[in-house]
Amino acid sequence: VRAVTTGYLLAPQVPLIFMGEEWGTRQPFLFFSDVDAEFAEIIKANRRDRFGSAVLPARKDAAAPEAMAETTFMASKLDWSELDRPEHGGVLDFYAALIAVRQAEIAPRLAGLGGHAGCYELGSRRGHFRVRWRLNDGSRLELGANLADNPADGLALQAGRELWREGDIAGTRLGPWSVRWSLATETAA
């Protein structure tokens, strides 16, 4: 989870964090809505047609939560007291550290960045890849990743200042579930 999280918080696109994810909430998010009766019926019919009776049931023998019910909304509200527990504070610290790296190192280089600024290379194993982005100031942001259970070799990682590392990385060998983010300037390239 940590390796994948770096992917959407450090990559150049707009990062999206789902409610409570940044502290590892255990609170479920159930689909809920508060619309007029006509639109509510359309939503109910679409959900019934698409998912049948198995729309996110808590148990296989339980009915799906009613999207228009206030109880469904209330069951989805965050439990902010979770932040007082150490296991949630550690997740929040992790997200805060990644966002700080993004704010200091990546966001200032994104202004005016157009499309097609990135390229990728696949490694020898499934889940093993490298992505590079040419940023607006001429620097290159690189993600070297192995999002698999086994080590992978062969993709040379760029020289440059390391911004973030998760997992075991040595030379071209990336251990299971490991990522390395680096930034290279023209002079360091």
Q: For residue 109, what pLDDT is reported?
A: 95
Query: What average pLDDT score do residues 143-166 get?
Result: 95
Query: To the nearest whole number, what is the mean pLDDT of the chain?
Result: 89
Residue 39 has pLDDT above 90, yes or no: yes
More confident site: 56 or 93:
93
The predicted model scores a pTM of 0.82
Residue 23 has pLDDT above 90, yes or no: yes
CA distances from 54 to 39, 154, 173 (A): 21, 44, 43
Provide CB contacts within 8 A for 29, sequence distance 6+.
Answer: 18, 19, 20, 76
- Report which of 151, 100, 108, 155 is spatially closest to residue 132, judged by C-alpha positions: 155
